[in-house]
Amino acid sequence: MNQRIQRPEVVVITGASGGVGRATAQAFGKRGAHVCLVARGEAGLEGAKREIEQAGGKAIIVAGDAADPQTHERAAQQAEETFGPIDIWVNVAFTTVFSPFMEITPEEYKRVTEVTYLGYVYGTQTALRRMLPRDQGKIVEVGSTLAYRGIPLQTAYCGAKHAIQGFTEALRSELIHNKSNVQLTMVQLPAVNTPQFTWGRNKLPRKAQPVPPIYQPELVAEAVYWAAHRKKRQLYIGGSTLIVIMGNKFFAKFGDWYLAKTGYDSQMRPDPRDPEQPNNLFNPVDSTQDYGAHGAFDDRSTNRSYELWAAEHKGIVAGALAGVGGLAAAGLLLATRQRD
């Protein structure tokens, strides 16, 4: 009897030179995947490639701008020519501006939108050109809590993440209508300790920071890997994500007021901003220096998410809830009999 030889997974990851994209590349690489790394920063890409190969996987580099559709097309072609059919495509690449809305120029707003939103659109279209004819494959859109609840000082980023959410829902309905076996998942992130707050364009008076609680990129990467191998519509990471998204459904007006009061100071460190700080809005800052996956907040970040654990252990959670329900029912029955 002939046994089918299982080949390594072929994965394309955009924004792979740093932050969540970098950690996600590590997560796939240590499981032996063949990964196509896409980003602008060549030093970061080389670092990611080394990590994957040291972990036992294989990697190739495609240096290019996520805002350019041809970058995604080159990545897909090189991935399939080198490794074979793409199994999983993960969209992570983004850029941002920390600034009050009226201080963002039209050029800056356009750039954030082109990279952070249209980059996902172009990557998804490129992946589907390969996956739809084969009727298989998985696309993971790395989103954010801010896809549901916008916050001050990040209007461009929030707008792009909201757009990704709407685009993903619309596309998912099309795939279902066409009875496609290609899967589409969105992973909604909390605040993550990445270089975003070091290299994002900052027009604030002080250094930028993620709104606590802050999570490590490796936790997010493991969630992305898990979601990439499950038929799950959406995955929330972190209690803060769940609270914000659910709270916004019922208390949006309170959220407006609360963020008006707290959303400025919570996004700024005490230190004044360095006006000479490099930023990656139009040009990469990791072309000669490798920033890695982590930002400057290791001492304030956690690697634990009970919501992710519950999603990964649904059977245990369901059993525990059933047990609690059974005990409650037994207690109610006993109390009723005693009254009788």
> Could you write out the three-class secondary structure of 213-276?
CEECHHHHHHHHHHHHCCCCCEEECCHHHHHHHHHHHHCHHHHHHHHHHHCCHHHEEEEECCCC
Contacts (Cβ under 8 Å, ≥6 apart) of 72: 14, 38, 66, 122, 123, 125, 126
CA distance 122 to 138: 15
Q: Point out the catalytic residue in the list 157, 215, 236, 291.
A: 157
CA distance 155 to 100: 8
The CA R_g of the chain, rounded to the nearest whole Å, is 22
CA 210, distance to chain mean position in Å, is 15
The question of whether 157 is a catalytic residue gets the answer: yes
Q: Is the dihedral of CA 268, 17, 162, 140 positive or negative?
A: negative
Structural contact between residues 47 and 294, judged by C-beta atoms closer than 8 angstroms = no
The DSSP-derived string for 144-185 is -GGGTS--TT-HHHHHHHHHHHHHHHHHHHHHHHTT---EEE
Region for residue 98 given its phi and psi (left: phi exceeds 0; alpha: psi -120 to 50; beta: otherwise): beta
Residues carrying an active site annotation:
157
